[in-house]
Structure formats: C-alpha cells, structure tokens
Amino acid sequence: MDEELPQLTNFILPSGGQASAFLHVARSTCRRAERAVVPLVQSGSVHTDVGVFMNRLSDYLFTAARIAAKRAGKEEVCYQKS
C-alpha cells in the first residue's frame, strides 16, 4: 500500500474527504483502544500479540486514510507549527 503514496516529510492533519475522515476516526478509536490494552499486556492479562495487533491496525488505518484521500484527489494538509 505504501508504494502508492509519497513519503511523509511532515506531520499531516486528518483530511482528505469523507472516506479518509472515517478512516482517521477509526484510527483514533483504535489508538485509544491500544492505550487501554497496554496495561493489560504489561500485567500479563492478555498476550503481547494483542498490543502488536492493535498497533499494526492503527498503522494500516492511517495508510488506508492516506490512500483514500489520494484516490479522491484530495490534498493532505500538513501540520504548520504556529
């Protein structure tokens, strides 16, 4: 999937049309769940692979959002420090 996208040189803001926006929301939800899983992994309540899976899923959703924006012909909005 990454081969289709330009390399990131800046942080980007969630943008890029409706499909991309939904994927960014899904990613932020996944990241919240990932943060909730970390203590469970550390305590041994769940297998470490659960944490790895959550991390990879959020990476996938980020890439999918970028691809959705590109296919929709939308520009990615770069973060500008104020």
Summarize pLDDT for 2-61 with one digit per residue, the tens: 778 888 888 988 888 999 999 999 999 999 999 999 999 999 999 999 999 999 999 999
The DSSP secondary-structure symbol of 44 reads: T
pTM above 0.85, yes or no: yes
Q: What pLDDT does residue 31 have?
A: 97
Structural tokens at position 81: 């420090």
Q: How far apart are CA 45 and CA 59, in angstroms?
A: 24
74 in helix, strand or coil? coil
Q: Per-residue pLDDT for 1 more than 90?
A: no
